[in-house]
Each structure stands twice: as structure tokens, then as C-alpha cells.
Amino acid sequence: MKIVLAYSGGLDTSVAIRWLKEKYNAEIICYTSNIGQTEDVKKLKEKAIKTGAKKLYFDDLRQKFVDEYIIPTLKASALYQDKYPLATALSRPLIVEGMVKVAKKEKADAIAHGCTGKGNDQVRFELTTRYLAPELKVIAPVREWEFKSREEEIGYAKKHNIPVPVTKAKPYSIDWNLWGISIECGKLEDPWNEPPEDAYQITVSPERAPSKPEYITIGFEKGAPVSLNGKKMETIKIIEKLTEIGGKNGVGRIDMVEDRLVGIKSREIYEAPAAVILHTAHNELEKLVFSRDLFEFKKIVSQRYSQLVYFGQWFSHIKDCLDAFVEESQRFVTGEVRLKLYKGNCIISGRKSPYSLYSETLATYTEKDVFDHKAAKGFLEIFGLPSKLEGLRDK
Ligand code: ARG
């Protein structure tokens, strides 16, 4: 038997190499990708092999992540439960795409992941695998094995000469990529506790942010960010720059209690400066160029879209349909938004577009006003008719 394992180099997936090998009498191929976190590939490879893997594949998936996952989700304004920009959720189907390719090349029988039985990530891994390669078996060692605690796992690792990460056990579980960081566990498990400062990895607290605001301007073309402060830039660069500028100004911290697919409520904190800034700016530009109907209707699409992503249904016909709607909706989402970043706040300070529906001569209260005030009388006669009929009846 041959198994492709999603490998991070941490304790769980290191132990998984050995455990899978024994339990399934299998050859283990490790798979790791770069989706924005820095990794020493050479060291990782050595470690995987030393732990018992046959080989390790490493893909740089950053560009694909941005083009095929991040930007469509931004255009869709998809925020799970109105807050979470979905960084972790988006990365899972992307990783599985890579793993399935390797599995086919290696003629593997199964893929394996290190997710637990009560999280969302197992769902994303397995739904994507079922869609892309239904012939592959999926194995989830962490759901199956006998270890009841981290200590037992470490014991097993020591017994089998598996290098245990030397760093002192981190109090948090952290998942990190280009679009954001997800942080759980430790003190965060009590939702009444304010997140300790050491939980945050890339943002400063508002208190420690500069006391002078920083202005930035983001340019969009058909819903996608294309420039920063007037300079054309690759999307990936824009995301990296905004992560840095936002983080430095304390922007992008999200603290929420969310509903997992399995029904558990979990307290999660996120750091996603680029996602927060880009969603804020993008949404503002839509307000300028969308009709009222489109703006309201798209909210329904956004909400459904975010659920599909969160629930692991990235590859589904319904999502394709929503993507088609979203893509068309972005036809006029071109223009610029200026923002003020200040002590954790991301404040809109200006917006413009060649496709703006805003008309100053209609909106103004000065002598430039061209609105026909008299026409309102007839409008209200008719628009007010249902109110009049109901009022009469209710009397
Ligand atoms: N709750 C988030 C999600 O389901 C993030 C989970 C990330 N895992 C972690 N180890 N922090 O997408």
C-alpha cells in the first residue's frame, strides 16, 4: 500500500508517518506546500525521510492560492459568519489538489491527513478528495490512533526515534498562510478571556500601534486589487505589503466564537490584516458602483458562498454557479479606495470609480441640485398606496 500524507513536520504528522507505516504496512510519501509560511524545505525533507518517509514532495502553491482561491473569495465578499476571511478553509482544497496530483503520479492508494475528528479541516480534506479522486481512500490517523494525550504521542515518538520538535510546547494551535493566521487553544478556550498578547503573531495591539494614522490607496480592476498607493503591483505583493502595513497598525485582529460544521462552538482568533483591508475597500467600491438591488442580492450570495467554503464544498456545482454570478457582478468594480489605518481601525476615507453611480448634482443640497422635487409627490402617491390601504383596514 502507498499513502500520500499531508505533512507539516509537527508532532502529529511526524508520528503519523511511523504509525501509518506500521498499521497499514505502507510506503509513505509526504506532501508539503508553500502557501505563504516560510519553510526550510531541505530540513523538512531530511526530517521526513529520517522519520521513515520514502520521499517528500514540495510545491510552491502561492500563485495558485492567490489566483484561484483568494481573489475569487474576495470578489464574493465571503466572510464566514460575517467575520472570518476563511484563510485556513481556503487552503485545504488547494493542498488536496496538490496531493491528488502526487497520488496519481505515484499510483498511491490513499491520502492521509493529520486532522482531528471534531474539526472542519477533516471535512475539507475529505470532500475535496472525494470530488477529485473518488478512487482514493482517505486515512485520518489522529482520528484512529490509540494515543490519548500529547504525552502519549511524545512517548511513542521517543520510543521510535522520531525527532520531537525541540521547541517548548506552544500553548496555541496555529495555522498560517498568506491570507491569514488562525489561532486556537490555551487560554483562548475560555471565551471570556481576553486573548493574551503572545497569541498574536503578526499584528501589534492598538495600544502599541503608532499614534499617527497611515493612509493607503488600493486600486481595483473588476473586483481584483491591482495597485497600492498608485503603484501597479502583483496581487501577491499587495497582500504581503498590506499584511505588513496593517499588522504594524494593529489592523486585522478578529476574535470570534464560531460554529463548526460538526456543531461545536469554538473560540477562535484570527490575524488577517490584508484580508480585512481588502474586504473593507472592495465592499466600499461595490457600494459606489452597484445598484441597490445588486448590493442587497449579493449579500445572500456572499453568505452562502462563505458557508460552502467553510463546509469544504469548494468543488461543487453550486459554487460554480455562484462564481459565475460573482464574476459578472464585478464588471464595474473598478476604481480606487483610500483608507486610514489607525490603532487597529481600518477607516474608509475616500472612493472613486469611472463607473460610479453616484451623482453629485442629484445628491447635493446646494443650488447645483438638478433633482425634480415636484416629481416626488406623484411617486409618494403610488409608493404610499399599500400603507394607506393597510392603515384603513387596520382601523
Ligand atoms: N476555525 C477555523 C476553520 O475551521 C480555523 C481552524 C484552524 N486550525 C488551527 N489549528 N488553528 O477554518
Query: pTM for the full model?
Result: 0.96
What is the domain partition of the chain in residue ranges? 2-60+88-173, 179-352, 360-394
Work out the angle between the directed axes of helices 292-310 and 87-105 (0-180°, nearest 10).
50
Q: How far is the CA of 175 from the centre of ligand 1 (A)?
A: 7
Q: Is 49 exposed, middle or buried (CB count within 10 Å of its CB: 0-12, 13-18, 19+)? A: middle
Answer whether 122 contacts ligand 1 (Cβ < 6 A).
no
Answer whether 269 contacts ligand 1 (Cβ < 6 A).
no
pLDDT of residue 163: 82
Residue in 14, 59, 77, 92 annotated catalytic: 92
pLDDT in tens, the chain (395 residues): 999 999 999 899 999 999 999 999 999 999 999 999 877 899 999 999 999 999 999 999 999 999 999 999 999 999 999 999 999 999 999 999 999 999 999 999 999 999 999 999 999 999 999 999 999 999 999 999 999 888 899 999 999 989 877 666 678 999 999 999 999 999 999 999 999 999 999 999 999 999 999 999 999 999 999 999 999 999 999 999 999 999 999 999 999 999 999 999 999 999 999 999 999 999 999 999 999 999 999 999 999 999 999 999 999 999 999 999 999 999 999 999 999 999 999 999 999 999 999 999 999 999 999 999 999 999 999 999 999 999 999 99
Q: How far is the CA of 196 from the centre of ligand 1 (A)?
A: 18
State which fold the 360-394 domain adopts.
Answer: 1.20.5
**Atom 1 of ligand 1, nearest CA residue:** 268
- What is the grid cell recorded at 310? 467553510
Region of residue 263 (phi > 0: left; psi between -120 and 50: alpha; otherwise: beta): left
**Strand blocks (E) in the chain:** 2-6, 27-34, 55-60, 110-112, 137-139, 173-177, 180-184, 214-221, 224-228, 231-232, 253-259, 265-271, 335-342, 345-352
Answer whether 184 contacts ligand 1 (Cβ < 6 A).
yes
Answer whether 173 contacts ligand 1 (Cβ < 6 A).
yes
**266 is a catalytic site residue:** no
Concatenated DSSP letters of 234-254: -HHHHHHHHHHHHHHTTTTEE
Q: Which atom of ligand 1 is nearest to the CA of 119?
A: 4
Q: How far is the CA of 366 from the centre of ligand 1 (A)?
A: 52
Task: Please say whether the beta carbons of 304 and 81 come within 8 A.
Answer: no
pLDDT of residue 296: 98
**173 is a catalytic site residue:** yes
- Angstrom distances, CA of residue 294 to CA of 82, 145, 288, 359: 18, 50, 12, 18
Start-to-end Cα distance in the chain: 78
Residue in 33, 62, 121, 266 annotated catalytic: 121
Number of H helices, E strands in the chain: 15, 14
d(CA 212, CA 288): 28
Closest residue by Cα to residue 70 from 39, 35, 100? 35
Region of residue 332 (phi > 0: left; psi between -120 and 50: alpha; otherwise: beta): alpha
pLDDT of residue 164: 77
**Dihedral sign (CA 177, 173, 15, 110):** negative
pLDDT of residue 167: 60
Q: Which atom of ligand 1 is nearest to the CA of 183?
A: 11
Q: Is 71 exposed, middle or buried (CB count within 10 Å of its CB: 0-12, 13-18, 19+)? A: middle
**62 is a catalytic site residue:** no
pLDDT of residue 151: 87
**Atom 8 of ligand 1, nearest CA residue:** 175
Q: Which atom of ligand 1 is nearest to the CA of 268?
A: 1
d(CA 84, CA 303): 11
**260 is a catalytic site residue:** no
CATH of 179-352, one of 3.30.420.10, 3.90.1260.10, 3.40.640.10, 3.50.50.60: 3.90.1260.10
Closest residue by Cα to residue 262 from 140, 120, 82? 120
d(CA 229, CA 211): 21
State which of 8, 91, 121 you would mutate to test the pocket of ligand 1, scoring each by most atoms of that ligand within 8 A of its C-beta: 121
Answer whether 91 contacts ligand 1 (Cβ < 6 A).
no
Instruction: Give residue 289's Cα distance to chain centre.
Output: 25
Q: Which residues pair with 364 in a beta bridge?
A: none
pLDDT of residue 65: 98
Strands 110-112 and 137-139: parallel
pLDDT of residue 39: 77
Answer whether 8 contacts ligand 1 (Cβ < 6 A).
no
pLDDT of residue 354: 98
State which fold the 2-60+88-173 domain adopts.
Answer: Rossmann fold (3.40.50)
Cell 469544504 sits on residue: 312
